[in-house]
A and B are shown apart, each in its own frame.
Chain A
Amino acid sequence: MPSNYLYIAVMALVSYTIRILPLTLIRKPIRNRFIQSFLYYVPYATLAVMTFPAIIHATQTPISGAAALAAGIAAAWMGAGLFPVSVICCALVFLIELFV
């Protein structure tokens, strides 16, 4: 297994390259409609795939994870920001696991 510092270097290189390429080399907007659409949809697909069912396995009991998922979706739907949504999810898991 590679050293953790090698992993960090690879992660940092990829992350920085993604951000810096459009700012330096590709200064023109991307015109290809498929690539534009693909890049538009990627964050939703990847974040959704990573959230479910992982959120249910992250907690001590699946019930609290499922409740956090439902509450997080509801709070974000009603316009709560990054920090409030996270706090609501954490608080709910903590409360439920006091009793379950």
Chain B
Amino acid sequence: MKNSQHRTPLRGDASAWAFSRRVFTEGMRDGVPIALGYFAVSFSLGIAARHAGFTPLQGFLASLFNNASAGEYAAFSLIASGATLAEVAIITLIANARYLLMSCALAQRFAPGTPFFHRLLIGYDVTDELFGITISRPGALNPYYTYGAILLAAPAWAMGTALGIMAGNLLPLRVVSALSVALYGMFLAIIIPPARQNRVVAVLVLLSFAVSYACGVLPGIRALSEGTRTILLTVLLSAGAAVLFPIPVEEEEAHAQ
């Protein structure tokens, strides 16, 4: 192992996943803007949690153990309307399905021989942003980089939610109204840049807007709860897009190892 620093990482070379203060500090540095954004956005998530009857502690725990903007927001909306546990499980699954893809991509980047527990820890906080900064680093994944970022991002997310629940009562209505769109701003920041790159995504986003609006006013469908409509529309629209416009299959790279 001592010689390993002088070579490129090989199979079972611990230098790929070893703790290094430099890598950890880089993760914390890149985690600062993410934590700031999370704090602001989770504040508005707290407002949604308050509508669902969550206490600040419950909101803190929900965010600490979920780390999911859309997933938590959808679940809170459902809970506010008295949903069953099964409904909450399904909406969480649908709204967070994208993390399945991100975890698949991350799984490919672990250096062979990385201790198994790192996979369990990284899986704790796979989000759009943390996935983005982790996957964009060259070479094998050093989990300590991601841990540095998580160390700032996860507490900011959980504390912002708790504060949003607490302050929702104290702040003037006008401020609550303004803050309640922060989460939607975050959603737009996630979906619009790919829509600019990919015409199919752009059409899918516009169509989703239109169908979502129509379902809110059409008799019959309108009677379904907002969460149920979100589940149905997501599955139908995504399945339709997948049938009509399947994405190109990724090149086989696994055998190269």
Contact = CB atoms under 8 A, between A and B. Distances in A.
A85 B188 contact: yes
B68 A86 contact: no
Interface string B156-194: 000000000000000001110111111111111111111
B241 interface: yes
Contact of A39 (B97, B189, B192, B229): B97
Interface residues of A, number: 77
A89 B182 contact: yes
B247 A18 contact: no
A10 B65 CA distance: 10
A62 to B, nearest CB: 12
Interface in A28-74: 28-31, 33-34, 36-55, 58-60, 64-65, 68-69, 72-73
B40 A53 contact: no
A47 B103 CA distance: 19
Interface residues of B, number: 101
A54 B216 CA distance: 10
A82 B186 contact: yes
A33 B239 CA distance: 12
A15 B217 CA distance: 31
B36 interface: yes
A67 B91 CA distance: 28
Interface centre among B62, B107, B188, B254 (most CB of A within 10 A): B188
A74 B181 CA distance: 15
Nearest to B176: A60
A33 B82 CA distance: 37
Q: Which of B89, B93, B173, B182 has most A Cβ within 10 Å?
A: B182
The 7 closest A-B pairs by CB, nearest first: A48-B208, A76-B192, A86-B185, A37-B242, A12-B65, A89-B185, A83-B37
Interface of A: 1-2, 4-8, 10-16, 18-24, 26-31, 33-34, 36-55, 58-60, 64-65, 68-69, 72-73, 75-77, 79-83, 85-91, 93-94, 97-98
19 contacts: A11-B72, A15-B71, A18-B93, A18-B99, A29-B108, A36-B249, A40-B242, A43-B98, A44-B191, A46-B70, A51-B187, A51-B191, A65-B181, A73-B192, A75-B188, A82-B41, A85-B188, A90-B179, A90-B182
Given A7-B75, A7-B88, A29-B250, 4 more contacts: A23-B123, A48-B191, A60-B173, A86-B181
